[in-house]
Structure 1
């Protein structure tokens, strides 16, 4: 994640999700993850955010990889999917509708923080735009 200021290799990214490198590599086509071009290369922050969202979808929301690819991606992402299917946004789901243990998960916390930052940015942008008239 951007807030982590950490550079991830395949090995360290797999460790982040507590999975093997082979399992991480199986995520690539489903999650839209692009492997770094050079051997030993690093994933950029946007790719880590994508992987975090995929992790939340399959581990916390308990979607299959195929469901993610066929249902989540076409509607515009996990938040849009959650609103369409469950009638609540991703933020509300992660902060109100999962167990405390799941909520304490490092990846879940990272996604919640990113959603809060994005919401704060939207609010600030709306305030600036409405004040500029």
Structure 2
């Protein structure tokens, strides 16, 4: 089971993605990641979530940083971009359209679990048709 309550520094976040700290720092302007204010500070959960989506976009969907900035962000995010360009949701893309090796990637699994958790908490419609 993945522990979602992990605190990440630049070093540990770079290790999570298998990249150098310098490469992670190059992600910031493209992904919209906010660096911790204090030296040695920790990234908040929102920054990790953004970084995970950016990782999926560039490593799994194989978009360039420039494509992410110019196409994914204006589309409203990776899910909206995939629906517009590929007619598939991010969840379906990650669960049905990538290799098993990619599906087993730690980051891909975290994004899938996050989507499933968010879907589970969406309010259901309580309106019943035909009731007066």
- Provide the TM-score with structure 2 as the length reference: 0.93
**Which SS does the other structure have where 1:126 is aligned?**
coil
Do residues 26 (structure 1) and 1 (structure 2) align?
no
Residue number in structure 2 paired with 1:80: 80
Unaligned runs of 5+ in 1: none
1:130 CA displacement: 4.0
Q: How many pairs are equivalent?
A: 127
Task: Give a deviation string over 1:86-122, Cα, whole Å, max 9, x none.
Answer: 0000000000000000000000000000010111111
Do residues 46 (structure 1) and 46 (structure 2) align?
yes
1:3 CA displacement: 5.4
Unaligned runs of 5+ in 2: none
Alignment of structure 1 residues 1-133 onto 2, 5 Å: 4-122=4-122, 125-127=123-125, 129-130=126-127
Distance 1:53 1:31 in 2: 9
- The runs of 4+ residues in structure 1 deviating greater than 6 Å are none
**Whose helix proportion is higher, 1 or 2?**
1
Distance 2:78 2:37 in 1: 27
**Which SS does the other structure have where 2:41 is aligned?**
coil
Distance 1:58 1:26 in 2: 13
